[in-house]
Amino acid sequence: GENVEQHPSTLSVQEGDSAVIKCTYSDSASNYFPWYKQELGKGPQLIIDIRSNVGEKKDQRIAVTLNKTAKHFSLHITETQPEDSAVYFCAARPGGGADGLTFGKGTHLIIQP
Amino acid sequence: NAGVTQTPKFQVLKTGQSMTLQCAQDMNHNSMYWYRQDPGMGLRLIYYSASEGTTDKGEVPNGYNVSRLNKREFSLRLESAAPSQTSVYFCASSAPLAGGPYEQYFGPGTRLTVT
């Protein structure tokens, strides 16, 4: 089955700086790669996603890049703000008719004032 | 439009007791999912249902059963709870059939403790 690795597990950045979180996946048939933000005591919230036929997607301060050849994808947050502090998860949807998402173990992003 | 709702929010069980976690969505989605989240493990798929009347196992199905009652509701049952099932359980739904969209929307979670 699919295996998703996520790094780093904790990331501390100064407010206003950029943050980058990286994930790799194992199943070359995976076709959809979302990123979720989870705040304490809440369910994961989708913040951006990318499909396998696209290399990059941007939404205001957030962008995701996908390298299918290397099987890795990354989340980029620019001009970080205190409200960006949370746990971020990457995930991959397998191909081949299966459903559900395989998640990375999460990155705790801390924005230092 | 409430999205995905889950009940209860919190539950404490003794080993061997049974319970059912309820999930409902009002987005007319075809697919529904149950995940568990443990510290340092991310979310892991327990079961999913691609449409009313169908269910499939995910990564960690042992000790659980599911029922897709209708298009809106998808329940998760623990027949004989074990301490290893202490976790936070999330229900999710998404529209898709082949071709997407694949976005999954999550409920607020049920925090379950088995003593």
Backbone phi, psi, residue A44, to 5°: -65, 145
Structure confidence at residue B100 (pLDDT)? 65
Nearest CA in chain B to A49: B103
- Extended strands (E) in chain B: 4-7, 10-13, 19-25, 31-38, 42-49, 56-57, 65-68, 74-78, 87-94, 104-106, 110-114
Q: Is A97 left (phi over 0), alpha (psi -120 to 50) or beta?
A: left
Segment A30-58 mean pLDDT? 93
CA dihedral A9, A48, A72, A77 (to 10 degrees): -60
Which of A20, A103, A56, A45 shows the shortest CA–CA distance to B104?
A: A45
Each residue's pLDDT tens digit in chain B (115 positions)? 779 999 999 999 999 999 999 999 999 999 999 999 998 888 999 999 998 889 999 999 999 999 998 999 999 999 999 999 999 999 999 986 556 668 899 999 999 999 9
Residues 15-34 of B with CB under 8 A from A: 31, 33
Structure confidence at residue A53 (pLDDT)? 84
A91 interaction partners in chain B (CB closer than 8 Å)? 43
Range among A7-16, A90-99, B89-98 with highest mean pLDDT value: A7-16
The three-state secondary structure class of A87 is: strand
